[in-house]
Amino acid sequence: MIFNPKMECMPREDMHKLQSERLCKIVKYCYERVPFYKKKMDRLGLSPDDIKSIDDIVKLPFTTKTDLRDEYPFGLQAVPMSEVRRIHASSGTTGKPVVATYTDHDIEMWSEGVARVMSCANVGKGDVIQVSYGYGLFTGGLGAHDGANKVGAIQLPTSAGNSEKQIMLMQDFGSTVLACTPSYALHLAERIEQSDKVDINNMKLRVGFFGAEPWTEGMRKELESKLHIKAFDIYGLTEMSGPGVGGECEEQNGTHLWEDMFYPEIINPDTLEPCAHGEFGELVFTSLCKEAMPIIRYRTRDLTRLIYEPCKCGRTAVRMDKILGRSDDMLIVRGVNVFPSTIEAILTEFPVFTPQYFITVDRKNNEDMFDLDVELRNEFFSPNPSKQMPFIKPLYDRIVSVVGIKPNIHIKEPNSIARSIGKAKHVNDKRNFHR
Ligand code: DLL
């Protein structure tokens, strides 16, 4: 089902026109209401009248996470506090959180984004959507909740954690949809498998909406087979609203982005120049109709590419390839770039291993060390190291050939790598402490 055919299937020329109108309006709005944007544009000698179409977007300055932190908490806000209806924030790893504020219109638009994603999977009236993203300042819980409301589904606001109860309710209330991070979904799936009280065959789950962190095709297969569902990717970020900036349709050949609301660009993160169509680079978004905290050319640090070819589902909305990772998650080990998601992708090629992993990077005797903890599935595990060797060698060889680094692989006991109820932490880079 297509939630908003007019927007999702608009001919590209019409979309270009709509984006142009919206960009001109939002730039003027920002210039007049947010001193931060006025200052930035004045410094470049740019006036809102210089922006005549969406193609002029390249003239505008970028906004970065540092800008958002410098303007903490409400420096980028374009409306008086009396018009704000909600405040969310993303924690980040250091310093002050990134803040997002919303008017009624913004919450409406945000829920429509999520509703479009849910409709992509034919989820709607009668579906019980178990929202196991965290409710709170994190946008996952309330974002998915409002989207579920908008498609007319039954909301089951379990939030994240308390896995045993989650599973009990999933069975007793007949949840048909699970919305949570892919790592938490995997944890729930493992717990269901291990439980003698519940049986996945007695559950009604049919769809999963997984996002908030990178996940691979291998992980999709694992979740689909363990939970008996079709797993859909949902993408978003606090700065643009939260989940529902885009999502996968049933073709599952990329994430459709709702470009009538969020204009995507791909830039080369080093030169800051636009990349050629189809090239990988950093994703940049401009919110085209947000009221409370509109953002111009926000550098997400997410690395991906855009796909403009028409999709069989009928939507014309551009698609984004699976996110490789964030540029700040990329590890440089002995001069080689490594994304944790590449390790996940390799690991899931080997059916003897679970998709759980943890990377520790350290520096010893002036050399980078890359340690990788993995788990064998129960039926293959033996504490005897000589019995582990035959499993380690093929994984080691594959990592060397794909990534180009020599990992120290450690096989851990089943269920010993820490599980996460939200975004998983896969890396400890100890070199940061030595610097
Ligand atoms: O994670 C919003 C969200 C909640 C999206 C629930 C999907 C589902 P933040 O905490 O601000 O917001 O983190 C945003 O998470 O820039 C990406 O790096 C990453 N991310 C989000 N969705 C995906 C995804 C929420 N589907 C940051 N695939 C983004 C890969 C994702 N990475």
DSSP output for 192-234: HHH-SS--GGG----EEEEESS---HHHHHHHHHHHTSEEEEE
d(CA 375, CA 354): 6
- What are the pLDDT digits (tens) for 353-390? 999 999 999 999 999 999 999 999 999 999 898 898 89
Quick one: pLDDT at residue 96?
85
Note whether 249 and 341 are same-domain residues. no
190 touches ligand 1 (CB under 6 Å): no
The whole-number pLDDT of residue 94 equals: 62
Mean pLDDT for the chain overall: 96
Same domain assignment for residues 354 and 237: no
Domain containing residue 106: CATH number: 3.40.50.12780
Is 90 close to ligand 1, i.e. is its CB under 6 Å away?
yes
Residue 83 phi, psi (nearest 5): -95, -5
The DSSP bridge pattern shows strands 207-211 and 325-326 to be unpaired
Q: What are phi and psi of 242, to 5 degrees?
A: 150, -150
How far is the C-alpha of 345 from the C-alpha of 357, rounded, in Å?
A: 11
Of all atoms in ligand 1, which is nearest to the CA of residue 323? 30
| % of the chain beyond a pLDDT of 90 | 94
350 with 299, same domain?
Answer: no
Ligand 1 mean position, distance from CA 183 (Å): 13
Assess whether 254 and 386 both reside in one domain.
no
What per-residue confidence (pLDDT) applies to 286? 99
CATH number where 417 lies = 3.30.300.30
CA dist 61 and 67 (Å) reads 12
Cα of 212 to ligand 1 centre, how many Å? 3
Number of domains forming the structure of the chain: 2
In this predicted structure, the answer to whether residue 162 has a pLDDT above a threshold of 90 is yes
Kindly tell me if the per-residue pLDDT of 435 is higher than 60: no
d(CA 425, CA 260): 33
| Residue 237, ligand 1, Cβ within 6 A | yes
Question: Ligand 1 within 6 A of 213 CB?
Answer: yes
- Which pLDDT band, with edges at 50, 70 and 90, does 92 fall under? low
Domain that holds residue 391: 331-434
Q: Which residues contact 95 (CB under 8 A, 6 or more apart)?
A: 69
State whether the beta carbon of 128 lies less than 6 angstroms from ligand 1. Answer: no
Do residue 180 and residue 33 come from a single domain? yes
* Residue where one domain finishes, among candidates 322, 351, 373: 322
Percentage of residues in the chain having pLDDT higher than 70:
99
Band of pLDDT at residue 290, cut at 50, 70 and 90: very high
Cα gap 266→339, rounded to integer Å: 19
Does residue 308 sit in the same domain as residue 356? no
CA torsion, ordered 51, 297, 246, 187, to nearest 10 deg:
180
- Examine the domain organization and report whether 86 and 235 are in the same domain: yes
The domain boundary, picked from 292, 322, 352, lies at 322
Q: What is the pTM of this model?
A: 0.97
Residues 299 and 342 in one domain: no
Asked whether the predicted pLDDT for residue 434 surpasses 90, the reply is no
Nearest residue by C-alpha to atom 14 in ligand 1: 237
Same domain, 318 and 337: no
Q: Are residues 335 and 308 in the same domain?
A: no
Instruction: Say how far apart CA 406 and CA 398 lie, in whole Å.
Output: 10
